[in-house]
Structure 1
Amino acid sequence: MIKMNCRMKFPTIRDRKMSYGVNFILLFGLVLLSFFAQAKEIPKKTRFLVNDYAHVLSDAERRALEQKLVAYDDTTSTQIAVVIEKSTEGDDIFDYAIRLAEKWGIGQEGKDNGVLIYIATEDRKLRILTGYGAEPTLTDAMAKRIIERILIPAIRKGNYYEGLDKATTKIIQLTAGEFSADDEGGGIEPILIFALILLLFFLFVYLASKGNGGKGGGYYR
């Protein structure tokens, strides 16, 4: 009887690491492909600053807003664009708006001073994106107030043109340095006011306890 001396070969640690690496790369590639496959396609850039793909503006309203923004673009270095679509089709509105702004090249090249007002009507979402070059005069806090105090109230009533007209006027005034954020009224956020009141209250309690026996016990005379 002949005995066969067989040695089974097991994968080494190095082989396993290589296998894990290959699997990770394949998985990452599939995730990346699925991401780009599902991402909403950016529409081709037009020669207009106002692009209403959702048809919520009349022709006269779109032309009036276009003339206003073109005139501002011609006299300054800051460009304001308005894009209205029905939906981002599942894409995050911030990510999609950034991709759109970058593909269209809103603002002057090298200055990154464009401002994009993006509205998705069926998603009931909107964003104001500001390039780094325009941020000193139009901060994120200012953009948020324009959205909350001007755009949303008007859009809820179906007055898209009214909201966009007032919002772009406010943006033009801010970027031109005609007034500061405090001119809008309510320059300090409510949460900051509440925090300040709370801080003063605890400071008062602390000072009262220091003047009346320090730690332990209650207040007495």
Structure 2
Amino acid sequence: MKKLVFFLAISLFLSHHLFAQTKAESPNIFEKSYDYVNDFEKILTPSQVKSLSEFLKSNEAKTKNKILIVTTASITPYNDLNDYSLDLDKYLISKLNIDTTVLIVISKQLRQIQVQGVNKIRSKMSDQEMKDIISTYVVPELKKGDYYKGLQEGTSQIIKKLE
């Protein structure tokens, strides 16, 4: 009787293990649509998002350079904002056909900022110039808590360099 119970228990667990999924579908962590300003972390007011979006849109028409801003509270399953922003840039190009010149990813919660696409504009702006713009115009305002002003001034300086 003990052997019968043992074999039944083994067969139940074994059959469950054999039919279990071995590879889970990883959900898409990126949003389905993107605009010029994508405040998923809700650190800007609706009027600030609108104003910044209009500014970026009008300057894209002039300079032919698309700047996209994304705020996010979480980068899970990523451990590094750089990896997250690289994959987001690839996702925008491959899935949504959005080819950004500059992608700015910022996380208030993680206290990090990442700029992608610098290779596309290297003829007009060096890596060091981009770092200087971020450290001079964006970061001081972020430290004060004024995300709108930091993003506005930073994108203005980037646009000046791209003209």
TM value normalised by structure 1: 0.56
Match of 1:182 in 2: none
- Alpha carbons of 1:155 and 1:96: their partners in 2 closer, same or farther (altered >3 Å)? same
2:71 to 84, 93, 99: 84
Match of 1:157 in 2: 144
Q: How many residues end up aligned between the 2 structures?
A: 138
Contact 2:137–2:150 (CA<8 Å) still a contact in 1? yes
CA RMSD of aligned residues (A): 2.4
Match of 1:96 in 2: 84
Q: Tell me, what secondary structure is at the counterpart of 1:44? A: coil
Match of 1:45 in 2: 33
Q: Structure 1 residue 40: deviation in Å?
A: 7.4
Q: Structure 1 residue 138: deviation in Å?
A: 2.5
Match of 2:127 in 1: 140
Contact 2:106–2:114 (CA<8 Å) still a contact in 1? yes
Contact 2:118–2:127 (CA<8 Å) still a contact in 1? no
- Determine the C-alpha separation between the residues in 1 that align with 2:150 and 2:158: 12
Identity %: 25
Question: What is the 5 A alignment of 1:5-24?
Answer: none
Q: Tell me, what secondary structure is at the counterpart of 2:121? A: coil
Supply the AA of the counterpart residue of 2:128. Answer: A
- Determine the C-alpha separation between the residues in 1 that align with 2:118 and 2:140: 25
Contact 1:87–1:121 (CA<8 Å) still a contact in 2? no
Match of 1:66 in 2: 53
Q: Structure 1 residue 115: deviation in Å?
A: 0.2
Contact 1:45–1:104 (CA<8 Å) still a contact in 2? no
Q: Tell me, what secondary structure is at the counterpart of 1:136? A: coil
Structure number with greater Rg is: 1
Which ranges in structure 2 are unaligned for 5 or more consecutive residues?
1-21
Contact 1:113–1:133 (CA<8 Å) still a contact in 2? no
Match of 2:3 in 1: none
Supply the AA of the counterpart residue of 1:103. Answer: Y
1:97-140, Cα deviation, whole Å (9 max, x unpaired):
0111121129xx7xx66101110111111011125331221222
Supply the AA of the counterpart residue of 2:142. Answer: I
